[in-house]
A and B are shown apart, each in its own frame.
Chain A
Amino acid sequence: MTAVPVPHRVVARRQETGDTVTLRLEPVDTALPDFIPGQFAMVHCFGRGEIPVSVSSVQATGGLAHTIRSVGAVSDGLYAARVGDVVGIRGPYGTSWGLERARGRDVLVVAGGIGLAPLRPLILRALAEPEAYRRVNVLIGARTPDDLIGRKEIESWATAYTGVMVDQPDADWHGDVGVVTQLLGRAHFDPDTTTAFVCGPEPMIRATARELAHRGVPRDHIRVSLERNMRCATGHCGHCQLGPLLVCQAGAVVGWDLAEPLLSVREL
């Protein structure tokens, strides 16, 4: 972990959707410690600032990568980065998904929109050890078909069930239409022996986690990634405070037993 951005060169750029890219990065000089799936980095666009971005690939399996959606000044700059450009990286920060909690259990991954990117390394790790986990299910929701990332890769995953649901289909879409929670009825899992990993915008996280808890998945086995306004990422500035939590330190991945009461407080 470092307090100043460490220069990294963009070695590959993949256009995921109309406003989202995945940048694969290599250190210009000094390498950072290995990231673990679920952790995040502060990604610095020189001259603009920095934003927190979860890792969508880690050094141990294919190299460091971040998937970035253009939604503001900094992410616009990062989105525009080309192969050969240099960005700054601080990290690793935060908690991991804690995939080891799911050993011997069913694994249920629920992703909303770009939330699939931070879950990708977890899915690959779980699929690489089929003897360690029971059934792996991946449920993906997106606003439109154009908002789905990694569509070809998704088809290659050897899961017990992979479902994709969109909210607003176009004329070429022949898949499911509705909310991602509707896919829960089709996945193969025993709630009381399931560990779920949920990532997406907070309205989607809340809807999904509540449904999972209703179904009987233990709240401490529903792992969610909270999206907060992180600035320093070292627990000093307080921008990411959520109730008693500093999300950059205690999160971003936390159990639903911890997150549920905090996300139920109005205006918090």
Chain B
Amino acid sequence: MGTVTLEGVHKAYGNTTIVERLDLDFPDGSFTVLVGPSGCGKSTTLRMVAGLETVTSGSVKINDRDVTALEPKDRNIAMVFQNYALYPHLTVLENIAFPLRATKTPRREARVRAQEIADSLGLGKLTGRKPKELSGGQQQRVAIGRAIIREPAVFLFDEPLSNLDAKLRVETRSELLAIQKRLGITSIYVTHDQEEAMTLSDRMVVMREGKIAQVGSPAEVYGSPNSVFVATFVGSPKMNILRGTLDGTTFQTPEGHSWPLVSQHRGDVLVGLRPEDLLLTADPAGPATITQIELLGPRAVVSLQLEGTKLTSVVEAGALQGLSRGGTVSLDFRLGSAHLFDPMEETRLPG
């Protein structure tokens, strides 16, 4: 059971603001991912919830109790670090049982509980080993075991998967999600990987330069990004942005290329198009040139040059016929897929 509330949480070193007046609610049992480019303040936010970093102003509440001034040990939280921070001098079992030493749990009971958790994580046979005798994935699970043994109010994860290789990362990701759903413990997860954020979260918080850029379910954030920053940060390959003008029925770029685009909005605009919404047709007289084709199995990423603008398109591998490097194509927008942004503010425009 745990809700976390950040009220006007602010962090600054001298004149450098790291996190700016953050207001955020983490409902009980939710899985929230803080995501953003490095230096956006997401890790600092997590560490302020943990109590490892002091808060310049504002307050942190866990279960409606103000914990702003409390030491990490008094906050009833558990944390998994990027490098797992397993205690090298202790065995797997001792590592998992270690938090219970702080609560003065009898040694025998601690061992029994640690063993149960080790079994549930598939570490049952490894309990006598030292951390350095384990693989990366196993170390990761020991760190999770140590986090869940205290039955904390909140789980904090600081890029816990980034030290694993790609295949293991995907597996561990779904394991982690299953564990969190089973225990129903409120979790805050920090990552710079937007794909990880999309697959894990009930709710993602996109951060930029110490501020919240957008909060919402992954579908909302992906489907209607509220700014050019969020639009290009979430989704891979990233969204194409075209500058031009709208007259109600067509969109025209300064170079004179135009596409039909029905909208109530008129005047200068930025049009965002997901790569899969940019359709290609081989055309000797087409305006765009193919600079590169990367085949990813069923689909391919096609890089294009349109006058001075670089564009990306994702096409089905079957539709690659007729497309080759150096060839020209004509472009079409998938109907109703364009995102419109204000050219100055870079914020989302309705319609």
A and B interact physically: no
The chain A residues found within 8 Å of chain B, CB to CB, are: none
Q: Which residues of B contact A (CB under 8 A)?
A: none
